[in-house]
Chain A
């Protein structure tokens, strides 16, 4: 039972480099999310995709782009990484938009920008 799978688990980037975090879910969920988690701040929503073909900004979208490639996959791209983007990133999915639905998380991706 894979659930939500995200890669890579760990990454170190130099300032200005780009990278893409990959996420896939095998639960046939409509909605997918990218969060970042920073010490003392809980989880903050970066972008979400309510359904295949749609994406919307969350609380902290600056410096990121997303692609909902198909129903299973939702990727997060850092075009020009900055030290402020050092964080733990979580991908998540739910059957539909969150309200009333359980949201399932991946194991996280630790990103350090130096």
Chain B
């Protein structure tokens, strides 16, 4: 959806390096979700952010919500092959009738 833009579309990172994925909304955000998808599998819930300034971590993955910028960033520290996959952000936006609007995804490849 153009209402929720993810960047970059794809990313190739050397194992051990840090990386950041962004998710930017064109409308007011009421909650933002990060999911990971491995090819051929379902979506695995990573984190949900609801308040401006909120920051959550799960193992080596940290996500922040910047309410002013209507943006969330997902940061992976010391990337590992297990981090490879597609990262999707979904958000409840103003006028979305409480339903999630999704970004197109960021494909992450980890080079050994």
**A residues bordering B, Cβ < 8 Å?**
4, 40-45, 48, 58, 90, 92, 97-100, 102-108
With both chains docked as a complex, state the minimum distance between the C-beta of B95 and any C-beta of chain A, in angstroms. Answer: 12
User: Does B30 lie within 8 Å of A108, measured CB to CB?
Assistant: no
Contacts of B35 in A (CB 8 A): 105
Known pairs A102-B48, A108-B42; A42 contacts B102 (CB<8 A): yes
Distance (Å) between the CB of B61 and the closest chain A CB?
A: 16
With a cutoff of 8 Å between Cβ atoms, the chain A residues found around residue B108 in the complex are none
Pick from A42, A58, A97 the residue with the most CB of B within 10 Å. A42
7 pairs of residues in contact across A and B, judged by CB atoms under 8 Å: A41-B1, A43-B102, A45-B99, A100-B31, A102-B33, A103-B45, A108-B40
Report whether A98 and B92 are in contact in the complex, using a CB–CB cutoff of 8 Å. yes
Q: Is there an interface contact between B41 and A108, defined as CB atoms closer than 8 Å?
A: yes
Q: Which residue of B lies closest to A96 (CB)?
A: B98
Give the complex CA separation of A74 and B50 in angstroms. 28
Interface of A, helix, strand, loop or mixed by DSSP:
loop
Q: Do residues A106 and B31 form an inter-chain contact, with CB atoms below 8 A? A: no
5 extra interface residue pairs, beta carbon distance < 8 Å, beyond A98-B100, A107-B41: A40-B104, A41-B1, A42-B103, A98-B98, A99-B31
Asked if residues B105 and A103 are in contact (CB atoms below 8 Å), the reply is no
Query: From residue A22, how far is it (CB to closest CB) to chain B in Å?
Result: 15
**Interfacial residues of chain B within 83-112, with CB under 8 A of chain A in the complex:** 88, 90, 92, 98-100, 102-105
Q: Does A105 contact B42, Cβ atoms closer than 8 Å?
A: yes
Binary flags per residue of B32-58, CB closer than 8 Å to A gives 1, else 0 = 010100001111010010100000000
| Cα-based distance from A20 to B4 in the complex (angstroms) | 30
What's the nearest-Cβ distance from chain B to residue A26, in Å?
15
Given contacts A99-B31, A103-B33, A105-B42, contact A42 B104 (CB under 8 A): yes
By a CB distance below 8 angstroms, the chain A residues around B31 are 98-100
